[in-house]
Amino acid sequence: MTRVFDRTDSSVVVVIGSGAGGGTVANELAQKGIDVVCLEAGKRLTLAEVVNDPPTMDERMGWHDERDGKPVWLCKTVGGTTMRWSGVSPRFEKHETQALSTYDGLEDTGLIDWPLRFEELEHYYDLAEDKMGVSGTHGTPASAENNNYKVLKAGAQKIGYSRITSGRMSINSVARHGRPACRQIGFCNSGCAIGAKWSTLYTEIPAAEKTGHFELRSECMVMTINHDKAGRVSGVVYKDASGTMHEQKARAVCVAGNVVETTRILLNSATSKYPTGLANSSDQVGRNYMRHMFGFALAIMPKPVNFHRGARQSGLVYDEQDHNPERGFAGGYLFETLSLDPLNVAAFVGGWGPGTSQYNDSYTHLAGLFLVGEDPPQADNRIRLHPDRKDHNGLPVPVLDYTDHANTIAMREHGVARARAIYESLGAAEFWGGEGPPVGCHNMGVARMSANPEDGVTNGWGQTHDIDNLFVSDGSVIPTSGAANPTLTIVALAIRQADYIAEQMKKRNI
Amino acid sequence: MNNETTSRRRFLVSALAISSVATGAFASSLLRESAAWAKDPDNPLARLARLLFPHAALPDSVYADVAARALAMTADNPEAQGLLLAAEQALDAQVAGGDWYEADEEAQLAAMEAVQGEPFFPAASNLFMFTLYTHEECWKAIGYPGSSREYGGYLERGFDDIDWLPETAS
């Protein structure tokens, strides 16, 4: 029932990107009978093409276009970063959506409160969790406790933590909605070979295709968004797999390019009417770029753990998520299990010589975790376009300016010290903890929601303040990062946005 | 080191020197030859790989293969080849007699420490890190089995078999 729309058909909503934000908003609109064309830069893989070999999968689905700055973990593939993510799906806490009110006086930050009621977000969290099959919600059991999780749980309890769960994973703990339960394969970040982990590739996209209101155009790289004389967006210019340029006409456009590409598309669409780019009258596009506080820990335990067996991330500890300024920083963080392959063990520990290789000599005895926490918005942490450099598509190269806030550094130090205590309480012989190599991040900000148009780029529904029929549908709209991995929130906001777009279309407002 | 290996070693250096300025098929064929040469465990890049990431359980032949794979990876990358060459030349310059490979282990390690802040050092180190820790013989030695999909994952193969932890609350 896959539809094919004419490129001159200006009644369609064009969604740019097919990941957590784009794939979700596209399917939700199609389910309501709204015609959607989804443009995705990457190819459409089959599960048979998902192999347990990270370098090969990075070739197949990673985003390798030229960029200036630290790695960002983007994917160029149908499903976007839902192919690569680990599946950890905690909610934001209410206080984290009221950062300005809660973290009073945090210097050199652009904190704001989210322009929506948390109680309304909770309703959409319910819908998102049901859609994604988040373990431990909607009647599903928590995820099975693997060895690495059992170590984290035992150590966390020993040092006095109590809010510990193996739930909140968007990996089926039981067979559900036509997808199987997790088989503890590992390699979750190289695509789930059996489709137990939620990815839009085999959930939202085929569901949208069944409606007859949806067309996916893969291997189509978006260049710019066009507008009409009135300033409303009217079409999207893209390059197809053969290198031919096209314009798809549109009634409305949703941009979901995982923050970096979202910024590039908006800024690269500058015209005489919008000289600084689309939706950028506030000069906020690209600003307040957030990546989360990231920290990592590895410990050599006294007896075997075999942390490579099973889901790479399979549980979390909430006890440090609260805002408790006595620790010396604002906001909080989560502990989440993490296993690494030998290459990453060496890369994370860093350096060379016996001090480094001892961790791989004890590979079977390793336990590991990931620290993820609040990263306050800073106006000068931003994504911009390089003034001269162009990539192979002729697009300006994105430049990522980013430095850790002092709050982030203090939080990481605290988290690493607590991680050491967790593992040493169980007799760890060696411990490494720190920032690790810049392997990835959680991209957020750059087109944030704000009550006041001067403070951000979109309103509380991701509709740009400047242009009624232009929406941002990915993590770009998140105003403050909280501690939670962002995908669940991106999906919840995308479902909510689809409801809003449908209502606005019905009222003929867009 | 006998005369033959010395001349082979010089060949490697000259191959890298030439290919770091050459392009295309010419550089690739030179590198393929030198990669084949590096299978000989008695070579400086294999030695460097072992000192960077020493594992007593791994024989020299594995480090030789690690060095060969690293060279093969640089076949189309003159910049990376230049960095490897720079690393070798800088190490030679650090030891009395100008031949790092011929020096004793203590002097070899001291030379590495002396140049570890230079840009070529992490470049060379990362290359060997990649080819060592993706090497099947290395995985076998340290107990990492690699791909599990074909075995049905670990659901029935010990994902939760840990038995030495203290009792925990539910």
Whether residues A363 and B147 touch (CB distance < 8 A) is answered with no
Residue type, B91: L
Task: Say whether pLDDT at B2 is over 60.
Answer: no
Confidence of residue B39 (pLDDT cuts 50, 70, 90): low
Residue type, B44: P
Beta strands A164-165; A316-317: pairing state: antiparallel
Q: Give A88-100 pLDDT, tens digit per residue.
A: 999 999 999 999 9
Instruction: Closest CB to A347: pick one of B55, B129, B139.
Output: B129
Instruction: Closest CB to A309: pick one of B53, B139, B158.
Output: B158
Whether residues A154 and B166 touch (CB distance < 8 A) is answered with yes
Q: Hey, is the C-beta of A163 within 8 angstroms of any chain B C-beta?
A: no
Chosen from A145, A309, A362 to mutate, greatest number of chain B CBs within 10 A? A309
Chosen from A47, A57, A357 to mutate, greatest number of chain B CBs within 10 A? A357
Whether residues B149 and A193 touch (CB distance < 8 A) is answered with yes
> What is the value of pTM for the model shown?
0.93
Is residue B8 domain-resident? Answer: yes
**Tokens matching residue A253:** 């456009």
Q: Hey, is the C-beta of A144 within 8 angstroms of any chain B C-beta?
A: yes
Instruction: Closest CB to B162: pick one of A150, A185, A186.
Output: A150
Q: Write the CA distances from A96 to A155, A373, A482, integer angstroms.
A: 27, 11, 5
Task: Match domain A13-506 to its CATH number in 3.30.70.141, 3.40.50.720, 3.30.930.10, 3.50.50.60.
Answer: 3.50.50.60
Is residue B158 domain-resident? Answer: no
Q: Give B100-126 pLDDT, tens digit per residue.
A: 999 999 999 999 999 999 988 988 899
Q: Which residue is listed with tokens 């941009």?
A: A255
CA distance A436 to chain B (A): 14
Confidence of residue B10 (pLDDT cuts 50, 70, 90): very low
Distance of CA A378 to the CA centre of its chain: 19
Chain A residues 323-342 with CB within 8 Å of chain B:
341-342
Among B66, B148, B144, CA closest to A341: B144
What per-residue confidence (pLDDT) applies to B144? 98
Task: Say whether pLDDT at B16 is over 90.
Answer: no
CA distance B51 to chain A (A): 6
CA distance A269 to chain B (A): 35
Number of domains in chain B: 1
Degrees, nearest 5: CA angle A454-A460-A465: 40
Confidence of residue B82 (pLDDT cuts 50, 70, 90): confident
Residue type, A500: Y
What per-residue confidence (pLDDT) applies to B7? 37
Residue in B closest to A358 by C-alpha: B55
Is residue B167 domain-resident? Answer: no
**Tokens matching residue A445:** 């900000």
What per-residue confidence (pLDDT) applies to A466? 98
Mean pLDDT value across residues A76-82: 98
Q: Give A386-444 pLDDT, tens digit per residue.
A: 999 999 999 999 999 999 999 999 999 999 999 999 999 999 999 999 999 887 799 99
Rounded (10°) angle between helices B60-73 and B24-37: 180
Q: Give A144-197 pLDDT, tens digit per residue.
A: 999 999 999 999 999 999 999 999 999 999 999 999 999 999 999 999 999 999
**Tokens matching residue A384:** 């911009």
- Do residues A187 and A193 lie in contact, with contact meaning Cβ atoms separated by under 8 Å? yes
Is residue B161 domain-resident? Answer: no
Whether residues A184 and B159 touch (CB distance < 8 A) is answered with yes
Q: Is A115 helix (H, G, I), strand (E, B) or coil?
A: coil
Task: Say whether pLDDT at B5 is over 70.
Answer: no
Among A27, A2, A100, CA closest to A455: A100
Instruction: Closest CB to A342: pick one of B139, B157, B168.
Output: B139
CA dist A16 and A139 (Å) reads: 34
Q: Quick count: other Cβ atoms within 10 Å of Cβ A222?
A: 26
Confidence of residue B8 (pLDDT cuts 50, 70, 90): very low
CA dist A304 and A307 (Å) reads: 9
CA distance B108 to chain A (A): 12
- Do residues A154 and B168 lie in contact, with contact meaning Cβ atoms separated by under 8 Å? yes
Task: Say whether pLDDT at B40 is over 70.
Answer: no
CA dist A74 and A55 (Å) reads: 15
Q: Which residue is listed with tokens 């991680």?
A: A419
Whether residues A354 and B54 touch (CB distance < 8 A) is answered with yes
> Does B9 or A318 have the greater pLDDT score?
A318
Is residue B132 domain-resident? Answer: yes
A427-449 b/e with 16+ CB inside 10 Å = b? ebebbbbbbbeeebbbbbbbbbb
- How much of chain A, in percent, has pLDDT values that exceed 90? 97
Mean pLDDT value across residues B57-81: 88
Chosen from B113, B165, B170 to mutate, greatest number of chain A CBs within 10 A? B165
CA dist A218 and A77 (Å) reads: 8
Is residue B11 domain-resident? Answer: yes
Question: What string of H, E and C letters represents the secondary structure of chain B?
Answer: CCHHHHHHHHHHHHHHHHHCCCCHHHHHHHHHHHHHHCCCCCCHHHHHHHHHCCCCCCCHHHHHHHHHHHHHHCCCCHHHHHHHHHHHHHHHHHCCCCCHHHCCHHHHHHHHHHHCCCCHHHHHHHHHHHHHHCCHHHHHHHCCCCCCHHHCCCCCCCCCCCCCCCCCCC
**Containing structural domain, residue B21:** 3-151
Contacts of A194 in chain B (CB under 8 A): 149
Residue in A closest to B130 by C-alpha: A343
CA distance B3 to chain A (A): 30
Task: Say whether pLDDT at B26 is over 70.
Answer: no
CA dist B16 and B75 (Å) reads: 10
Non-local (6+) Cβ contacts of A411 within 8 A are A293, A327, A329, A331, A332, A333, A373, A374
What are the extents of the domains in chain A? Answer: 13-506
Contacts of A190 in chain B (CB under 8 A): none
- Do residues A238 and A224 lie in contact, with contact meaning Cβ atoms separated by under 8 Å? no
Chain A residues 423-462 with CB within 8 Å of chain B:
426
CA dist A149 and A152 (Å) reads: 5
Q: Write the CA distances from A282 to A227, A288, A478, B20, integer angstroms.
A: 19, 13, 17, 49
Task: Say whether pLDDT at B3 is over 60.
Answer: no
- How much of chain A, in percent, has pLDDT values that exceed 70? 100
Q: Give A333-372 pLDDT, tens digit per residue.
A: 999 999 999 999 999 999 999 999 999 999 999 999 999 9
Contacts of A348 in chain B (CB under 8 A): none
